[in-house]
Structure 1
Amino acid sequence: MVDVQVPRLHGYGVRWDPEGRCYRVRNETTGEWLCQPAGERSGFASFGAAFSAWRAFEVHKRPGER
């Protein structure tokens, strides 16, 4: 099944949502969106804040890790 949100959002992991006028965070490994405790998708005003949240949300291998 295709995620209908993908064509409207741009980027990888951190995506700009033009309708919400904010950045959204997605775990590209699982396809899961970062959500608030109430269940709605988290939105970030700055790319830096969204990128920091994405790094914590999606596990990445660091340089030198196997």
Structure 2
Amino acid sequence: MPHDQLPRLHGYGVRWDAAADRYRVRNEITGEWLHSATGELAAFVFFGDAYSAWRAFEVHKRPGEK
């Protein structure tokens, strides 16, 4: 999906897509969006699920982590 066609989202890493009424996950280091196994932009109903996916997708040390 070209950058100019990405949905307008709010947040960092885990983003709310108001148009789809779902959370989306983005690797803020590389700019890559998380996609499902079918190749579509991954969507999550619950923030906790999206946050877990983001932590696995954007792997780096965060403040307070060893």
Give the TM-score of the pair, scaled to structure 2: 0.82
Q: Tell whether 2:16 aligns with 1:31.
A: no
Counterpart-to-counterpart distance in 2, 1:18 and 1:30:
23
Alignment of 1:1-66 (within 5 A): 3-4=3-4, 5=6, 8-61=8-61, 63-64=65-66
5+ long unaligned stretches in structure 1? none
> How large is the RMSD of aligned CA atoms in angstroms?
1.4
> For this pair of structures, how many residues does the alignment match?
61
* Runs (5+) with no aligned partner, structure 2: none
Deviation >6 Å, runs of 4+: none
Could you say which structure has the higher strand fraction? 1
The Cα shift of 1:38 comes to 1.6
